[in-house]
Amino acid sequence: MKWMITRGGRVIANVRRLKQWPTKAMNAYDRLRPTTAIESCNCDRLSELVLVDLLTDNPIHCASCRREVDPERIGLTEREAEAVADWHGVVSSLFRLWLDSGEYEDDAKRWLTDPQGQVNQRGREIAIFLSIHHPTRLWYFHDADDPEPVECPVCGDALDTDVNWGVGICRPCHVHI
Ligand SMILES: [Zn+2]
Ligand SMILES: [Zn+2]
């Protein structure tokens, strides 16, 4: 199944919900916790993870069902959870700037799509350290208006298209697009 984040009604609704966050003191795990149980992965066995901003609090998602995975379930230390939350704050800010269109759109897209850019470099570093717990890949931003990618944006090799969602993955580069 092909899956893309679009600028549809669902996104707007989620952005509204995010404005209520955060209002209470939080520990590092809470920063990544799903706000509703319905968004949590319930797979019996967790295989691979994808780091992706789906406009929720937690970018750690199950590669199989695409739902959020609680940071304690995969044994993240508080420090690791903090690093994920910090990176996620940046990537979701850029994503929201892109969604907002207008004068932000082009710069935000450039930052989000540059494989050597700071947000993607850091995202891949985090995917690599999360892979100590479960093999993890970083979701690379792709504008659905652009041609569908066939190559890994990092190494240029053909993508492995055997995926449940998205276009493909490159395991050596920890990339999912
Ligand atoms: Zn799952
Ligand atoms: Zn690659």
Question: How does the average pLDDT of the chain come out, rounded?
Answer: 84
* 115-127 pLDDT per residue, tens: 999 999 999 999 9
Instruction: Record the pTM.
Output: 0.79
pLDDT score recorded for residue 9: 39
Kindly report the number of other CB atoms within 10 A of residue 16's CB atom. 9
Q: How far apart are CA 126 and CA 120, in angstroms?
A: 10
Token digits for 58? 């937690």
Query: Any idea which ligand is nearest the CA of 155?
Result: 2
pLDDT score recorded for residue 11: 39
Residue 50 near residue 136, CB atoms below 8 Å: yes
In the structure, ligand 1 is a single-atom ion and the residues with CB under 5 Å from it are 41, 43, 62, 64-65
* 53-62 pLDDT per residue, tens: 988 889 999 9
Output the CA 105–ligand 1 centroid distance in Å. 32
Mean pLDDT, residues 1-5 taken together: 38
Q: Which of 7-16, 23-32, 53-62, 133-142 has the lowest mean pLDDT?
A: 7-16
For the chain, the first-to-last Cα distance in angstroms comes to 13
Output the CA 139–ligand 1 centroid distance in Å. 16
Local confidence band at 77 (pLDDT 50, 70, 90 cut-offs): very high
Output the CA 148–ligand 2 centroid distance in Å. 16
pLDDT score recorded for residue 16: 36
What value, to the nearest 5°, has the Cα angle with vertex 142 and ends 110 and 162?
145
169-170, strands of its sheet edge to edge: 60-62, 49-51, 136-139, 175-176, 169-170
